[in-house]
Amino acid sequence: MATRHDTMVIPPIEGLLHRTGSKFRLVTVASQRARQINAYFGHLGDGLGAMVPPQVASLARKPLSIAFEEIDADKIVGIDGAEARAAEEAARADIEAAEAAAAADSGDVGD
């Protein structure tokens, strides 16, 4: 006879709530990460290296389940609005610096 489980979700939502602090943050972080994982799997073989692959070894097939497992393993952490803006600005500055370096390198090749 089948055993009864208290929850269908593994890892349990209660444990994930302690890691994120609120239901809203859990939903937001998990859904954003699930979209990233889905995009990663959708672009496998395209040679795009900008997407981050799943950070845990999982038997789950669904991106949201993988995202929950990443949160449970402390691989994914939600950040506040001010931290997110600062991270975006830093990433934008890094991209601009890389593009400028690439443009300078391509300019030197023709000489």
CA–CA distances in Å: residue 62 to residues 13, 47, 57: 16, 23, 13
Residue of 79, 86, 52 lying closest to 66 (CA atoms): 52
Residue 22 has a pLDDT of 86
Residue 2 has a pLDDT of 46
Query: What are the boundaries of each domain within the chain?
Result: 9-78, 79-111
Q: What is the pLDDT along the chain (111 residues), one digit of tens a residue?
A: 444 444 456 788 888 888 888 899 899 999 999 999 988 888 776 665 667 788 888 888 889 989 999 999 989 887 777 877 888 888 889 889 988 988 888 765 555
Residue 47 has a pLDDT of 61
Give CATH for domain 9-78.
Answer: 3.90.940.10
